[in-house]
Structure 1
Amino acid sequence: MITKEMTVAKAIQDNPEIIQILSDENIDYCCGGNRPLATALEEKKLDVDSFINLLNRQKKNVNVTENPLDLSKKDLIAYIVKTHHVPELKWIDEMDKSLQKLINVHYENHGKELSDVYDTFLSIKADLIPHFAKEEQREFPDFTAGNDVDFSELEREHEHVGNMLKSLAEKTNNYTAPADGCATYQFTFKQLKDLQDDIHNHIFLENSILFVK
């Protein structure tokens, strides 16, 4: 049962299905997992008791065959690489091409805002590619071997990406296409939102689960 005394991370560990509810309210669970749940809700001006009741009404998925929260250190690392690193790198390349196309087609009416979106996206891409390589080639193997790893450095990098994602959400009006945006415009922004959510889940798994094992 979720209580207001829990941290955001502990609440998610109690029931991972609440992540979508937290995301809908823009509650930071990826880099802010160690914060008290009550504090996070109060900052969003939500009624703490009512919202926690809502979280507790969310049914748990009893049919999950592989819950990453229950995996060993080694298996969780393999899960993160397979489920997040590899798909996100592919996703980023695809989004790069889609955003370039969007700028070319809609430059006349939306060139300024799309250029700002693309600049922020490229900054996220430039951070994530070497970050993933560092984790996979150095930090994760050291951690699995029982060697000391500077998690604070990785957490700072996660926080930087998290801040850029917040900026991306602001620049896209929370990934809402303009009224004159075509179907491709709408789909591209939806893909950006889905990428953001996947990165949030990914960072949560590392900061709040893997790094404390």
Structure 2
Amino acid sequence: MMPISLDMTVRTIAADLPGAAELFRRAGINFCCDGHVRLAEAALAAGLLPDSLLGDLQELANAAGRDAPEDTAALIDHILFRYHDTHRAELEWLIPLAQKVERVHGGHDMAPAGLSDTLIALRDELTGHMAREEQVLFPMMRRGGTEMIAHPIQQMRHEHDGAARLLKSVEHVTHSLSLPEGACGSWTALYTGLRKFVDDLVTHMYLENSVLFPRFDAAGRA
């Protein structure tokens, strides 16, 4: 379970806790440009009681990973089929749709300028990252781990940080996935798809960072 405190920044919480980004969006809390703000300050600025917001986030933390398989091999399979395959499939249509929206609505004040480039960078980052997990790290885990497993786990955590920075860019260029009044069907479909993709990727990284990776101790054994 991820511990949440009022001293944490909203940026950190949104990047690490599944569901937090959507909760912040609904509350009107900007966790991208103003992401350095402490949770307590962000709550007050949004007209919310800090303890109430903290309680909502703690409920998310309590639920995070609850439905993930307990068996390590089953959890790996879940990550592969629920997240790896899904990310690949969704980016295949999100990128051209983002390019279309940028091209057609480039003159609009709310246009997501640079979104397609960010998604391409994210696709390239994830392509290599997921391949390294599938070809190196996960097979090591299925065999029970070795003393050499600490390095690839550290590398995967580092790459997760890079992906989180790109997700922050997605939130920035889309104005926290805010649609303008009268947005067309393509723009609406793009942001609907992005909202799912972003939340999925945060959940994916959480399951690895907080559930799967800690199963392997310093000696490399599950």
Identify the TM-score tier after normalising by the shorter chain. Answer: 0.7 to 0.9
Q: Is the 8 A contact 2:18 2:202 kept in 1?
A: no
2:189 aligned partner = 187
2:96 aligned partner = 97
1:7 aligned partner = 3
Residues 42-74 of structure 1: per-residue CA shift (max 9 Å, x gap)? 36446553334446778x99xxxx920x52111
Q: Is the 8 A contact 1:117 1:172 kept in 2?
A: yes
1:159 aligned partner = 161
Of all paired residues, the percent bearing the same amino acid is 25
Residues 161-188 of structure 1: per-residue CA shift (max 9 Å, x gap)? 0011011101100111233531211221
Q: TM-score, normalised by structure 2?
A: 0.70
* Unaligned runs of at least 5 residues, structure 1: 9-17, 27-38
Classify 1:114/1:45 alpha carbon distance in 2 versus 1 (closer, same or farther; 3 Å). closer
Report the Cα offset of residue 130 of structure 1: 1.0
Measured in 2, the distance between the counterparts of 1:143 and 1:56 equals: 30
Q: What amino acid is the match of 1:183?
A: G
Classify 1:40/1:86 alpha carbon distance in 2 versus 1 (closer, same or farther; 3 Å). farther
Measured in 2, the distance between the counterparts of 1:106 and 1:22 equals: 26
Q: Is the 8 A contact 2:105 2:111 kept in 1?
A: no
Measured in 2, the distance between the counterparts of 1:138 and 1:111 equals: 45
Report the Cα offset of residue 190 of structure 1: 1.7
Measured in 2, the distance between the counterparts of 1:56 and 1:23 equals: 14
Q: What amino acid is the match of 1:78?
A: D
Classify 1:90/1:81 alpha carbon distance in 2 versus 1 (closer, same or farther; 3 Å). same
Q: What amino acid is the match of 1:20?
A: G
Query: Which of 182-191 and 40-49 deviates more?
Result: 40-49
Answer yes or no: is 1:42 the counterpart of 2:44. no
One of 121, 124, 128 as aligned partner of 2:122: 124
Q: Is the 8 A contact 2:76 2:138 kept in 1?
A: yes
2:74 aligned partner = 75
Measured in 2, the distance between the counterparts of 1:106 and 1:52 equals: 38
* Unaligned runs of at least 5 residues, structure 2: 5-16, 26-36, 216-222
Alignment of 1:195-206 (within 5 A): 195-206=197-208
1 or 2, which has the higher helix percentage?
Answer: 1
Residues 74-128 of structure 1: per-residue CA shift (max 9 Å, x gap)? 1110110011000110001111121222233324x24995441111111111100
Q: Is the 8 A contact 1:120 1:168 kept in 2?
A: yes
Report the Cα offset of residue 208 of structure 1: 0.4
Answer yes or no: is 1:87 the counterpart of 2:91. no
Query: Which of 162-171 and 94-103 deviates more?
Result: 94-103
Q: What amino acid is the match of 1:120?
A: T
Let me know the Cα RMSD of the aligned residues: 3.1
Report the Cα offset of residue 19 of structure 1: 4.2
Query: Which of 40-49 and 140-149 deviates more?
Result: 40-49
SS of 1:174's equivalent? coil
Measured in 2, the distance between the counterparts of 1:159 and 1:210 equals: 17
